[in-house]
Amino acid sequence: MRDFMAALDARGDLLHVYREVDPKHELAAVTQAATARFRKPVLFHKVKGTRFPVLTSIYGTRERIAEVLRIEARDFCREWSKLANAPRAGDAPLLPLTDPPASDYFDCKLSELPLLTYSERDGGPYFTSAMFYAKEPETGVGNLSFHRSMYISDQELRCRLAPRHHLTLYHEKAERMGKYLEAAMLIGPPATSFLTAAAPIPYDEDELEVAARLAGKPIPLRRCKHIDLMVPASTEIVIEGRFLPNERRPEGPFGEFMGYYMPIGNNAVFEVLGVTCRKDAVFHSILCGSPEEVLTLELSVSAKIFERVSAVLPGVVDVTCQPFVLHSVVKIKQQYEGHARQVLLAVMGAEPTWAKMVTVVDEDVDIYSMDDVMWAVLTRARPDKDFITIPETPTFYRDPNKDHWGRMGIDATAPFARRDEFVRKRIPGADTVDVASYIEPARR
């Protein structure tokens, strides 16, 4: 993470805040406003009550994520499918153990870290950027995943382990064996681990190994001090601890990614055994619901839809989720009458959880612009026949009142037989003109 931050800084893409900010609300407020206005990461040099600088939004755009992966931002789905399925090159160990001198790291208390409170009604400060690294209790396969954690004391965090996530399954398995589950919370590990932690990767695959494969080079590890795990040596801050078996305590409320508060609920209890930091460690904060949080989900959902729908239908050009993960937008090259409708149904089958709404557009539409997608809907779709609804079918799983049941599909492609009538007007030169060279200060 530090290398990537330095690269962004060197080309002027890192915003610096030297003014002291309050960890309660102020840092989050500046993050939200700065992200919306500049779309750049922000480094807060001075946060009240802590010596650690705080970095936010470093992974907050499609372009920056593509840069970490060394791929093209505009062809993300195709490139990501290629990467995810690529065999590993060579036999060199992906995760070699190095023994950096102990003096490279220092210990601190949990409460010396930035304790950031984000939304108005949050139950307390939260750690949002930590990737939990743990091992499957039987097989020892390593897993990385994000789980928000509420600060209770220097010894205790309460963590949201949603049902069915791998760490949740590990924890439940350890409990059945009557054991603690050790885990390391990684704050600021190597950049590619951000993606493997967020993406749904098969249960049997080691996500740190995948991170090394994506990085195209080994990730050196170091031993933890308080638990029997090895973690990437370059990780800025590592919170070491263990989940208590058969113990759940109230956590929340917390302002979540959908823009609402999750009420207080019983969640997992993490006993903190120690915190180890790199020299000059930088803390990473992720604002929940910001692009930095939701983009990875949108990208992995889009890539999955692209791969699965392309396996059964021709002509799928690209997929994205806009303006939020519950809406998939698919760009196709129409091949026959009714093609777009088949794509609509295939997307709903390919993505049962997130594709609550699906829009299919032609090749000439910019699917990364919601305005352009709406232009296609408004000029190419007939509400009485091109909008389909599927009643009484669940999507988002955490939905006791069925607020997310039912689906909608919009065929916003031009009628196949009359597609020549829907050619988009174009001004020659508008895409290529160097407009700045035409504009001058007013002559008076």
Ligand X SMILES: Cc1cc2nc3c(=O)[nH]c(=O)nc-3n(C[C@H](O)[C@H](O)[C@H](O)COP(=O)(O)O)c2cc1C
Which residues contact ligand X (rule: CB under 6 A)?
143, 145-148, 160-162, 165-167, 198-200, 286, 293, 296
Q: Between 35 and 143, name the residue whose CB sits nearer to ligand X.
A: 143
Nearest to 144, CA basis, from 173, 171, 184: 184
For residue 143, state whether it binds Mn ion (rule: CB under 5 A): yes
Residue closer to ligand X by CB (options 148, 404) is 148
Residue 190 makes CB contacts below 8 A (sequence gap 6+) with: 1, 211, 215, 219, 232, 234, 235
165 binds, among ligand X, Mn ion, none (CB under 5 to 8 A by kind): ligand X
Q: Which residues pair with 320 in a beta bridge?
A: 329
Closest contact distance (angstroms) between CB of 196 and Mn ion is 8
Helices 76-84 and 291-312: crossing angle in degrees, nearest 10, is 80
Minimum CB–partner distance for residue 129 and ligand X (Å): 7
Helix 76-84, helix 62-69: angle, nearest 10: 30
**Stretch of 12-20, 147-155, 163-171, 309-317 contacting Mn ion, by CB under 5 A:** 163-171
Tell me the C-alpha distance between 134 and 3, whole Å. Answer: 25
- Which of the choices ligand X, Mn ion, none does residue 286 contact, using the CB cut-off of 5 to 8 A by kind? ligand X
What are the residues whose beta carbons fall under 8 Å from the beta carbon of 317, sequence distance 6 or more? 331, 332, 333, 363
> Is residue 422 a contact partner of residue 364, using CB atoms and an 8 Å limit?
no
Tell me the closest approach of the beta carbon of residue 344 to ligand X, in angstroms.
26
The option from ligand X, Mn ion, none interacting with 293 (CB < 5 to 8 A, set by class) reads ligand X
Binding of Mn ion by 356 (CB under 5 A): no
Nearer to ligand X, 161 or 347 (CB): 161
CB of 153 to ligand X, least distance (A): 20
Instruction: Answer with the entry of ligand X, Mn ion, none that 161 interacts with (C-beta below 5 to 8 A by kind).
Output: ligand X
Smallest Cα–Cα separation from 277: which of 27, 110, 144, 41? Answer: 110
Which structure tokens are listed for 395?
């999507």
> According to CB under 5 A, which one of 135, 147, 166, 380 is a site residue for Mn ion?
166
Binding site residues, Mn ion, CB under 5 A: 143, 166, 201
